[in-house]
Amino acid sequence: MKNDNKLSLKKPEILFLSFFGVGFLPKIPGTWGTLAICPFLYYAGQFHPPFFFFIPFILILTMVSSFLADKAQRDFDFKDPQWIVIDEVLGMMVAWLFIQKHSFAHLAILFVLFRFFDIVKIYPASYFDQKVKHGAGVILDDIVSGFYAGLIYYFISKILLT
């Protein structure tokens, strides 16, 4: 990795992409990133907001994240570094749009489902992960995984959790 010595949380783009440094936690940064957004989602859910309120926010964050991830990949000469966890944050936010009950148990189910789909990368997530070289590939595979997790959660909640 060239320029690895330039990684610093003092740089706003590194702070953002690592979700305030969470991506630098040891061993399982993607899981830490997913876990880090959960308290915010749980708290937001207590106000029972309409899901469509978050869609513009997620879209803007996705575009900004894609641009910054692309810049980081070029600046540091690596593809999809593990410390970039804003993609997991966004994927979990997408999954959260499907939540039926704002409780810890339902959020935990979403968490497990999202981590599963993020690791397995079912098409088209695998396409974005492997074929899209731009920073958008880093972000969009997790958006797709979040969508899959949300859909499966939705069906589980309607059949088993009602």
Model confidence pLDDT, tens digit, residues 103-121: 999 999 999 999 999 999 9
What is the tens place of the pLDDT at every residue in 33-72?
Answer: 999 999 999 999 999 888 889 999 999 999 999 999 999 9
Encoded tokens for 61: 């964050």
**What's the pLDDT at 39?**
97
Domain ranges of the chain: 28-42+52-159
State how far the alpha carbon of 162 is from the alpha carbons of 29, 47, 49, 148, 151, in Å: 33, 21, 20, 20, 16
Residue pointed to by tokens 């995984």: 145
